[in-house]
Amino acid sequence: MITLHWLYTLAGAMFAVIALLSALDRANPKRLGNAAFWGLMALSLLGGDRIGDFGNGLLVLGLAGLAGFGLIGRSHPPTTSSEEREAWSDKLGNKLFLPALIIPVTALIGTLVYNYTPVGGYGWIEAKRETYIFLAVGVLLALATIFAWLRPPALAPAQEGRRLLDAIGWAAVLPQMLAALGVLFAAAGVGEIIGSLTKSVIPEGSVFLTILVFAVGMALFTMIMGNAFAAFPVMAAAIGVPLLIVGYGGDPAVIGAVGMLAGFCGTLMTPMAANFNIVPAALLELKDQYGVIRAQIGTALPMLAANILILYFAAFR
Amino acid sequence: MNYWPLLGIALVVIGFALKFNPMLVVTVAAIVTGLLGGMDFVEVLSTFGKAFNDNRIIAIVWIVLPVIGLLERHGLQQRAAALIRSLKNASTGKLLILYLLYRQVTAAIGLHSTAGHPQTVRPLVAPMALAAAERQHGKLDEETEEKVKAYSAATDNVGLFFGEDIFFAIGSIVLIQQVLATYGYNLAPLELALWAIPSAIAAFLIHGARLVWFDRALARHPRESGDPAQLEKLGSRFRGNDERP
């Protein structure tokens, strides 16, 4: 059966090659830092299950130290100039979109075929992970197509991958760090504390104000934790179930579904949700690392208000 | 109740506000929170390391980078921009509204991992949005360029967040169902997914309206690539006026 571990191996191999190329890049004064940083990521993906929890903890300290003390820096691997790219674009025309579409189309068709035809019944792929597996299949198909068609130098995929990965830098690892921080917050009981604090500010007897505290609490706690998944069980236990469902007789389906979506409004406004807000800022090479969040606040706040109204009118029909 | 672990949250907020390196902020906050929560140092570091290892799936998406990089090497961003320039009525707002709809609909049928910031926004959506903005506005100053890129990424997030919960077999729906089941409310995932639809419509209207406004703001500015005499006139009209989108 194809499992996630196959993908960890694939990604680990990629990080290992990039680490090696970083080490050999004499043009980058921080080449050893880059090599160590991506080398640790390769170690995590290839051997994370064998070095123990404490070993993984040390690995994370290493990553944080290398990034935090400025020991990694952007590299400039060999690539084409913008004039050459214009020339390629004119020469190849719109056919250039075809290899770009291989990845999403493979993931899309693969997922659909696997789930809605008898193929899925054979159990070839780890359950619930088929989209990731087909994403990787799409990557390999796209690479093969590009090589057959455009014949780039053999090292080009690794060098171009390194160019983009170094442009993203430590932001590529931050989402995983934040997920780990969320686990520590939960282990230290932060959820219970927030739940009891929120409960203490609720005025008695007002359905609307209770909904307001529930929805705003979801958004705020999501901003702290970086995802609504951590906030939902806490807010449900503190307000959603005892007050809104049991106390005022609200519809549990609406309170559950729209409560979660109120949390998503918080996700749009927090740097803690790094993979949605900080990584794209790095990926698009924005000067302002909070630029994406700034663009989202104007949607997030009206959406929070909309969710509060939906809760009020739909849960208490 | 032991309120000390909240200090970890305070550290994160202060650290991010002062723009310290987030990797350090997160690590320090994690260790402090764990220690204040009553763990010893080895236990804290082991918990942190295990959680990092359990979340390796987040790193998998980077395997698309070599393909995206290779395509950029052969002019994909330039081609995306050229395609938009060839369309007469293309505008940043219209393009992003179309992408918003595409993202919401595909996420709603469970195909949320088929698009995203590395796969679609950087190689296709952002260059197309920039090319459309240049058509509307003339050459972009740095601030406007940043804004077009930021709106491209924001549109991907809004489409994903307010589309994916309509698909009943997604993590957040399963989580809601499990949490409510522990209190004795057994709901079908489909019932929960149904109630994600009003918010999805609201998101399309609200974000779509902002994109229309953004479009108008872009079109209000002078086209520097136009007739020089006309430009001079426009320039003098706009120079003293610090109106920005």
Q: Rounded mean pLDDT of chain A?
A: 92
Q: Are residues B138 and B222 in the same domain?
A: yes
pLDDT score for B17: 84
In-domain check, residue B112: yes
Query: What is the number of other CB atoms lying within 10 angstroms of the CB of residue B1?
Result: 8
Domain boundary, last residue among B38, B54, B70 = B54
Q: Are residues B74 and B158 in the same domain?
A: yes
Q: Are residues B92 and B173 in the same domain?
A: yes
In-domain check, residue B185: yes
Amino acid present at B222: P
Dihedrals phi, psi of A223, to nearest 5 degrees = -60, -35
Q: Rounded mean pLDDT of chain B?
A: 86
pLDDT score for B222: 57
| Chain B contact set for A184 (CB, 8 A) | 8, 30, 33-34, 37, 44, 47-48, 51
pLDDT score for B221: 66
Q: Using the predicted structure, report yes or no on whether residue B187 has a pLDDT greater than 50.
A: yes
In-domain check, residue B214: yes
Q: Using the predicted structure, report yes or no on whether residue A36 has a pLDDT greater than 50.
A: yes
Asked whether B60 and A11 are in contact (CB, 8 A), the reply is yes
For residue A297, name the pLDDT band (cuts at 50, 70, 90). Answer: very high
Choose the mutation target among B14, B47, B52, B57 for the interface with A, i.e. most A CBs under 10 Å: B52
Q: A52-68 vs B22-36: helix axis angle to the nearest 10?
A: 140
One DSSP character per residue, B23-51 reads HHHHHHHHHHHHHHTT--HHHHHHHHHHH
| Chain B contact set for A292 (CB, 8 A) | 150, 153-154, 157
In-domain check, residue B244: no
Q: Which has the closest alpha carbon to A235: A191, A269, A273?
A: A191
Q: Are residues B46 and B74 in the same domain?
A: no
pLDDT score for A185: 86
Q: Are residues B26 and B97 in the same domain?
A: no
Containing structural domain, residue B43? 6-54
Provide the whole-model pTM. Answer: 0.84
- The domain tally of chain B equals 2
Q: Are residues B75 and B35 in the same domain?
A: no
In-domain check, residue B1: no
Q: What is the ipTM of this complex?
A: 0.88
Taking only residues 124 to 143 of chain B, the set having a beta carbon closer than 8 angstroms to any beta carbon of chain A reads: 124, 126, 142
In-domain check, residue B33: yes
For residue A256, name the pLDDT band (cuts at 50, 70, 90). Answer: very high
Are A59 and B49 inside 8 Å of each other by CB? yes
Q: Are residues B170 and B111 in the same domain?
A: yes
Dihedrals phi, psi of A2, to nearest 5 degrees = -80, 120
Q: Using the predicted structure, report yes or no on whether residue B239 has a pLDDT greater than 90.
A: no
Tell me what the mean pLDDT of segment B33-62 comes to: 93
pLDDT tens for each residue of A262-273: 999 999 999 999
In-domain check, residue B245: no
Pairwise CA distance, residues A121 & A118, whole Å: 5
Please indicate whether residue A28 or residue B234 has the higher confidence score (pLDDT): A28
pLDDT tens for each residue of A137-192: 999 999 999 999 999 999 999 999 999 999 989 999 998 898 888 888 888 888 88
